[in-house]
Amino acid sequence: MMPVIDRQELLDVDHRLSMRKQVSLLQVSRTKKYYQPKGEDPLNLYLMKLIDQQYQRTPFYGVPRMTDYLNGLGLQPINEKRVRRLYKLMDIRAIGPNPYTSKSNPDHTKFPYLLRDLDVNVPNQVWVADITYVPLRRGFMYLFAIMDLFSRFILAWDIANAMTAKWCKYVFDQGIYWYPTPDLFNTDQGSQFSSDIWVYAMADNGILQSMDGKGRAIDNIFIERFWRSYKYEYLYLNAPNNGKELYKETETYINFYNFERGHQSLNRKTPAEVFFNQKTYFTPTKYSAALV
């Protein structure tokens, strides 16, 4: 299957042809090239931070209960319509069965949940992945991470301002470049993971694809716990000013999580010790470890 090319990406401000000539030849909108989308207003950004913090404490809160929580803080009246839009923008949903959970989008490929009763006993047997909303002092971004289920080791990650399948595929490519290909890969039913880009990437690498049941965030509980650790141990304590600062400090935290932070469920070992099956120490390379 030939990749779909966005002609907008072919525009080059440094090209010898003028931008007017380029858009004419490529038959794309010149207005679209220069359009800057309007950001969220300060109140919505503040509400999203409050929602994110409360959601980490009570992930079973749906739109009505979250709306009641926000109104209980004494802010200006917040209606459910606004909270529902923010939930969608943040890509979060309440844990638990939702109405019509048996209905799926016929245009998207869905896969069964394959982790139930599976004995995961070695690294690189199962990888899991998820995307989370990340608030900044002004604005927000998204963090995508891939974890080895057996060791809880974060294999690859990246930060972006949009949740696209192409971005997720890029992070996946980093993971399989540095580490052995897993047997099985589990995600939620997000559009990124049911897209042709992702599905073909799994098939081309001989990976069985697994998906959480709709409305069942606990099916991917281990990476959900990583999000909680990441946000309470770093993000809420040190709100970054911009994307560059966020990236640098996230890298520092993930290195700490992988190589220094012992896990009770891993007998106080670090994820890196379990993943590599020997004592490790951190090296500056983002996706590698030095073994001793």
9-13, 116-120, 232-236: range with lowest mean pLDDT: 9-13
Is residue 28 located within the same domain as residue 49?
no
Q: What is the mean pLDDT of residues 157-173?
A: 95
Global confidence as pTM: 0.77
pLDDT of residue 285: 42
The answer to whether position 118 is within a domain reads: no
Share of the chain above pLDDT 90, in %: 53
Is residue 152 located within the same domain as residue 256?
yes
The answer to whether position 72 is within a domain reads: yes
The answer to whether position 101 is within a domain reads: no
The answer to whether position 260 is within a domain reads: yes
Mean pLDDT computed over every residue of the chain: 82
Is residue 228 located within the same domain as residue 207?
yes
Is residue 167 located within the same domain as residue 65?
no
Domain that holds residue 75: 42-90
Q: What is the mean pLDDT of residues 177-199?
A: 93
Is residue 85 located within the same domain as residue 137?
no
What CA–CA distance (Å, rounded) separates 83 from 227? 21
State the sign of the Cα–Cα–Cα–Cα dihedral 272, 273, 277, 278. positive
Is residue 64 located within the same domain as residue 132?
no
The answer to whether position 20 is within a domain reads: yes
pLDDT band at 248 (very low <50, low <70, confident <90, very high): very high
Task: Map tokens 């897993």 to a residue.
Answer: 182
Tens-place pLDDT, residues 22-48: 777 766 655 555 545 556 788 999 999
What CA–CA distance (Å, rounded) separates 219 from 245? 32
pLDDT of residue 290: 36
Gyration radius of the chain's alpha carbons: 21
pLDDT band at 254 (very low <50, low <70, confident <90, very high): very high
Number of domains in the chain: 3
Half-sphere exposure of residue 165: CA atoms within 13 angstroms, side-chain side: 17
Element (H, E) at 187: strand 184-187
Is residue 200 located within the same domain as residue 219?
yes
Is residue 27 located within the same domain as residue 158?
no
**Residue 206 predicted with pLDDT over 50:** yes
Is residue 255 located within the same domain as residue 186?
yes
- Residue 207: which CATH number? 3.30.420.10
Tens-place pLDDT, residues 210-244: 998 654 455 578 898 999 999 999 998 888 888 99
Share of the chain above pLDDT 70, in %: 77
Work out whether strand 126-135 and strand 290-291 pair parallel, antiparallel, or are unpaired.
unpaired
pLDDT band at 176 (very low <50, low <70, confident <90, very high): very high
Residue 60: φ, ψ to 5°? -90, 0
pLDDT band at 4 (very low <50, low <70, confident <90, very high): very low
Is residue 138 located within the same domain as residue 280?
yes
Is residue 150 located within the same domain as residue 68?
no
Is residue 139 located within the same domain as residue 266?
yes
What CA–CA distance (Å, rounded) separates 21 from 27? 10
CA geometry: angle at 154 spanning 149 and 157, to 5°? Answer: 125
pLDDT band at 263 (very low <50, low <70, confident <90, very high): confident
pLDDT of residue 284: 42
| Residue whose C-alpha is closest to residue 172's, from 136, 209, 140 | 209
